[in-house]
Amino acid sequence: MLRAASEVPFVRGLHELGNGTWAYLQPDGAMGLSNAGLVVGDGASLLVDTLFDLHLTAALLDAVAPIVASHPLRVAVNTHPNGDHTFGNQLLPADATIWSSESTAHDFDEYPPEAMAHMQQQSPGAMDAFDFKGIELRAPDETFRDSVKLDVGGRPVELIEVGPAHTRGDVIVHAADAAVVFAGDILFVGVAPLMWAGPLSSCIAAIDRICALAPELVVPGHGPVTDVAGAQQAKEYLETVAGEVTDRYRRGMSVMDALLDIGTAPFADLIEPERLVNIADLACAEMDPAYVRMSTAEFATSMARLREAWSDG
């Protein structure tokens, strides 16, 4: 029997959801603090994602060790290529098969550990909680397009490609017999979302795909365990930002001026609301073919400006 989303505490560690599924949660869900998941069948287990460094992933594997001792970890899934969902792959059992979408495998080394370490050095204070030393990328062994059904100890688990959205090849993991979806970074709960690839309409459609499966529980890539109502609220954030920003953009405001005009009130319950500049950027790009999307440096500068302006306001 599944627990209700409200019954799963958002505290660090492994939480049994019910029906042979678990979520490994990392509060507060901000940058790099991602979640993972476990689906257990008869004599086999599937792990959804690893974590941002070897220390964090070792803690995850220690937490699931009592379960996988009798249900060996046979399969792992990388929901997308970002390091906070893949950098711990090297610690997985050598005989575990790692699955991802074709696009994720293609983009797997786009931002390697060395790039993250460099970013850490260039921005003192950023990502200080993570240790990128000793990480060796372990790429997926098997890839697919659209969807694939796996047998995990007699349990059907479907991997469904819903990208491009957060990245080019995002995957959600559907344990239908448990009524649980592991959403990867299609879903941020209580944290301002980031959708790198877009377009924004695809990001919204990906959340609709999750809701159409009618799960009782949804484990987001970041934030506490939720349900369809929580997924719908995350979708509403995307739609609100898009609507408010594009309306102002049509009236001649820049993305930054539009966000400053909106203010934080509609997003007061989100961690790091300044990250919504990413969604605003996507919305304008989809509306206006002539719009040039922000570079990584411009995005970082814009976030800092918003953070300062909103804190002063």
* CA distance linking residue 103 with residue 188, whole number of Å: 21
pLDDT for 313 equals 62
pLDDT for 309 equals 87
Q: Which CATH superfamily is domain 5-226 in?
A: Ribonuclease Z/Hydroxyacylglutathione hydrolase-like (3.60.15.10)
- pLDDT per position as a tens digit, 14-41: 999 999 999 999 999 999 999 999 999 9
Which segments of the chain belong to CATH 3.60.15.10?
Answer: 5-226
Mean pLDDT of the chain: 95
pLDDT for 127 equals 81
Q: What pTM, to 2 d.p., does this model score?
A: 0.97
Residue with the bigger pLDDT between 238 and 268: it is: 238
pLDDT for 118 equals 87
- pLDDT per position as a tens digit, 147-188: 999 999 999 999 999 999 999 999 999 999 999 999 999 999
* CA distance linking residue 295 with residue 302, whole number of Å: 10
Q: State yes or no: pLDDT of 125 exceeds 90.
A: no
Q: Which helix (H) or strand (E) holds 307?
A: helix 296-312
pLDDT for 124 equals 64
Residue found under tokens 């909106």 = 262
Residue 59 CA neighbour count, 13 Å, CB half: 13
Instruction: For residue 141, give the nearest of 107, 100, 110 by alpha carbon.
Output: 100
Q: Within a 10 A sphere around the Cβ of 176, how many other Cβ atoms? A: 15
* CA distance linking residue 264 with residue 298, whole number of Å: 20
- pLDDT per position as a tens digit, 73-111: 999 999 999 999 999 999 999 999 999 999 999 999 999
* CA distance linking residue 195 with residue 168, whole number of Å: 10
